[in-house]
Amino acid sequence: MPQSRLSITLLFNANKAYDRQVIEGIGRYLQASKVGWDVYLEEDFHVRLHKIRDWKGDGVIADFDDPDVAAALSHSQVPVIAVGGSYMNEDDYPPVPYVATDNYDLVKTAYAHLKHKGFERFAFYGLPPHPGNRWGREREQAMLALTQADGYECQVYRGRETAPQTWHYTMNRLADWLLRLPTPIGIVAVTDARARHLLQACEEAELLVPDRVGVIGIDDDEIARHLSRISLSSVSQGCRDMGYHAARLLHLALSGRDIGRRRLLVPATGVAARQSTDFKALRHPDVMQAMHFIRQNACKGIKVDQVLDYVGVSRSNLEKRFKDEVGHTLHHEIHNAKLEKACLMLQSDSPAIAEVANICGYPSLQYMYAVFKKHFDATPKEYRQRALSGRPQPLHSAIDTGG
């Protein structure tokens, strides 16, 4: 006799990258386990939350970072698996099975990355107090605990919730805060979205990133990554693993297993290191200006003369200072910046290789092929295949840094 199918509802905001990845993880478990579930995902479930108790389904997986969702499911008659952020205080966890992103580990990973890059001053850009921002408060407290343990002071700014009518005011206040900070400084942003605010405010305040302000976010959100002129370093969360574990726990509960108030913490999966934290402790302001201009414009086909015009000094003076601090010439820095951008783009399966060559400022696809053969003994296509199979060529070790 065929097994009856079970009705499962997912209460998540599919417009958020975090939630989408959790949902993807749930889907992976469904495919791997072949469970007989009919999954219901409503785009705007908030309008029907008050009727959730009348729902006649068999189980729920829900985002308990949303206090309204947690309250609506507090007396559910069907198994509920909660997904959300971790808490330092044990009493803050809900009385249901819970799969959490490890907020402390996320911030620790971001902070360790900044320290590894050479920063010795730190700040945190968080969220204003709100019942739905408890996870942001947890990340802020983690940053304060970590820096205090190392003997560092940490500046904290929570800012305001963003809205179109107050956007300029909010960004101006953020820029004011940034200008008051001692530099160089490394800033952990509570999310990639807030990290983008920092990058924009730094540009408006003429604070060089990462030479004066290093920025790292949390989420590794592809949308946020592509909306920034400077590529954003970010900590990747294990959201797909969270979804997978949550679906597995629900499967156990629906199979009659007593899972009690089981709790799983999912750590960070690593750092996607990009331009916003590529700090080199440069000393001379002319070298900082040159490096900033190259980072912003290398893929536009600039030449050394344009760097000299931007900085406003003679070639001999700037070349000497640049080589003393960076270890190679301006020409090689332009070359390296283009090649590193191309390598990063080739570590995903899009865009097409010809488009990568165009975006990175190579005069032709054939020229980029020659560059890759010289540095990696591989074509761009072969480099991409290695990267997608988990064997990427290290970026800096193969890039020529000679004069």
Tens-digit pLDDT profile for residues 212-253: 999 999 988 877 666 677 889 999 999 999 999 999 999 999
The per-residue pLDDT for 79 is 94
| Range of lowest pLDDT (232-241, 279-288, 312-321, 356-365) | 279-288
Per CATH, the number for 6-101+239-267 is 3.40.50.2300
**Where does the pLDDT of residue 2 fall: very low under 50, low under 70, confident under 90, or very high at 90 and above?**
very low
* Lookup result for tokens 């800033």: 187
* E strands, 76-153, in order: 80-85, 98-101, 122-125
Distance (Å, whole) CA 403 – CA 302: 18
Cis previous bond, 210, omega within 30:
yes
Per-residue model confidence as pLDDT tens digits over 136-194: 999 999 999 999 999 999 999 999 988 888 999 999 999 999 999 999 999 999 999 99
For 90, half-sphere exposure in the C-beta direction (CA atoms, 13 angstrom radius) is: 2
CA dihedral 304, 310, 312, 316 (to 10 degrees): -20
Positions of CATH 3.40.50.2300 in the chain: 6-101+239-267, 103-236+272-277
Residue 227: partners with Cβ closer than 8 Å, 6 or more residues away: 196
The residue among 134, 6, 143, 126 whose CA lies nearest residue 63 is 134
The DSSP element (H or E) to which 147 belongs, if any, is helix 134-149
What are the residues facing 40 on neighbouring strands?
9
Positions of CATH 1.10.10.60 in the chain: 285-398
- CB atoms closer than 10 angstroms to residue 155: 17
Q: Which amino acid is at 310?
A: Y
Is the pTM for the entire model greater than 0.75? yes
Distance (Å, whole) CA 159 – CA 157: 6
What is the fold of 103-236+272-277?
Rossmann fold (3.40.50)
The mean pLDDT of the chain is 89
**Where does the pLDDT of residue 281 fall: very low under 50, low under 70, confident under 90, or very high at 90 and above?**
low
* E strands, 138-210, in order: 154-157, 185-189
Order of all β-strands in the sheet with 122-125? 154-157, 122-125, 185-189, 213-218, 233-236, 270-272
Q: Does domain 285-398 have CATH number 1.10.10.60?
A: yes
The residue among 220, 199, 210, 216 whose CA lies nearest residue 280 is 210
Query: Between these two residues, 238 and 347, which has the higher pLDDT value?
Result: 238
